[in-house]
Amino acid sequence: MNFKVEKAVLDSGVKIIFAVVEGIDNHRKGEEWQAYRTKHIAELYEEYKDLDIHSDPILEGFNILHDNVGVKRRKNIPASENLIKLLVKRQEVFYINQAVDIYNLISLESKLALGAHNIDKTEGDVTLRFTVGTERYVPLGATEPTPVAPHEYCYCDDSNEVLCRLEIRQVNKTAVDENTTNIFYIVQGNAATSDELLTETAQKIIDTTTKYCGGTGRIFDLCNNLIFSYNSGFQTGSYPKQMFCCFFLSVLDKIGPICFYIDFQKPAQQDSRRKNFIICRTNPKFCPVTGRKQNTALNIRIFFEIGIRFFHFSFCE
């Protein structure tokens, strides 16, 4: 499994890291964990009982993020804010199973939006991208698909199914239950959260889960799995048609990990001005998103009756 992120989503203010824990035993309900959770929930309640959500930069940062992408606040409460409100209301965190319980408490601690998904129910890779409105989405607890609005950032697998809408709602398909043995975690922040907080939180998920449930874990580096969206002036009109085209060029002697993503559409009407064939090559010293040193980056834009919106691949040391 690989994880991919559309750069346009990062540009909107989303910060993201993924973690994986494999080989767990989620049937456990150890006394040590139960004692810890009881004490820690009481401490978190005392910390949050008088909290003004909108004065907290991290919690409010998710609402600002929703504003940035045109999602209404009233019906789309961010996951960590909702979890804190439920804690304050009930003075308790609803227990589902131990793996879910662990990341719920870590979400409360960090105020980050966390999600856990069954790897074995996921089809192909996972991509954080903006929706187009054709995705399949069956929210957790629902039995029938729900329509998906376009231009919402969502986590989707290769079957074009939404696994998590924004950071507010997960799905039945990859829900973690007691029989789940392999999990990938979404660790999402916003413009108010540091990269260090995301990494520390992901590592804490791994350390705590493996301590109480067993297994092994790792954090995923997204350096080679970034999707660069150019959104050029060559728009496709109201009736885009998906077409297939791929242009690949490599002149390096030493080829490292490579990732590219393409999404292209045919213009609604022919226009001779769009008959262009353009190759834009850049060779920056550092990856523009991750800051990691890279050997080369080659960006290709091709327009010949077809506008390719995404095409990027890079070779990082």
User: What integer pLDDT is reported at residue 257 of this predicted model?
Assistant: 40
CA-closest candidate to residue 84, choices 56, 118, 49, 119 = 49
User: What integer pLDDT is reported at residue 293 of this predicted model?
Assistant: 44
In sequence order, what are the residues at sequence separation of 6 or more whose Cβ sits closer than 8 angstroms to the Cβ of residue 213?
21, 24, 25, 26, 28, 98, 99, 102
Q: Evaluate if residue 268 carries a pLDDT over 80.
A: no
CA distance 55 to 57: 6
Statement to judge: residues 142 and 112 lie in one domain: yes
User: What integer pLDDT is reported at residue 265 of this predicted model?
Assistant: 36
| Out of 51-65, 66-80, 161-175, 300-314, least confident range | 300-314
Binned at pLDDT 50, 70 and 90, residue 223 comes out as: low
Statement to judge: residues 311 and 202 lie in one domain: no
Statement to judge: residues 156 and 254 lie in one domain: no
Statement to judge: residues 244 and 271 lie in one domain: yes
pLDDT mean over 231-257: 35
User: What integer pLDDT is reported at residue 282 of this predicted model?
Assistant: 34
| Of 173 and 30, more confident | 173
Residue 13: Cβ within 10 Å count: 19
The maximal CA–CA distance of the chain, rounded, in angstroms, is 72
Q: Which of 165, 187, 220 delimits the end of a domain?
A: 220
CA distance 20 to 185: 6
Statement to judge: residues 233 and 306 lie in one domain: yes
User: What integer pLDDT is reported at residue 259 of this predicted model?
Assistant: 38
> How many separate domains does the chain show?
2
User: What integer pLDDT is reported at residue 305 of this predicted model?
Assistant: 33
| Of 238 and 151, more confident | 151
Statement to judge: residues 171 and 44 lie in one domain: yes
User: What integer pLDDT is reported at residue 75 of this predicted model?
Assistant: 86
β-pairing, 241-242 vs 182-189, is: unpaired
Statement to judge: residues 66 and 210 lie in one domain: yes
Residue 304's domain spans which residues?
Answer: 226-316
Statement to judge: residues 95 and 232 lie in one domain: no
| Out of 49-53, 171-175, 222-226, 231-235, least confident range | 231-235
What is the model's pTM?
0.73
| Out of 27-31, 139-143, 296-300, least confident range | 296-300
Residue 7 belongs to domain with CATH number: 3.50.40.10
pLDDT mean over 224-231: 47
User: What integer pLDDT is reported at residue 1 of this predicted model?
Assistant: 85
| Out of 61-70, 166-175, 262-271, least confident range | 262-271
CA distance 219 to 198: 11
Statement to judge: residues 56 and 134 lie in one domain: yes
pLDDT mean over 174-191: 97
Please spell the DSSP secondary structure of 46-58, one letter per residue: HHHTT--GGGSHH
DSSP state of 221: P
| Of 268 and 18, more confident | 18
pLDDT mean over 194-214: 96
Statement to judge: residues 240 and 287 lie in one domain: yes
Statement to judge: residues 211 and 279 lie in one domain: no
* Range among 187-196, 259-268, 303-312 with highest mean pLDDT value: 187-196
Q: Which of 191, 220, 249 delimits the end of a domain?
A: 220
| Of 291 and 304, more confident | 291
Mean pLDDT of the chain: 78
Statement to judge: residues 17 and 132 lie in one domain: yes
Q: Which of 220, 235, 254 delimits the end of a domain?
A: 220
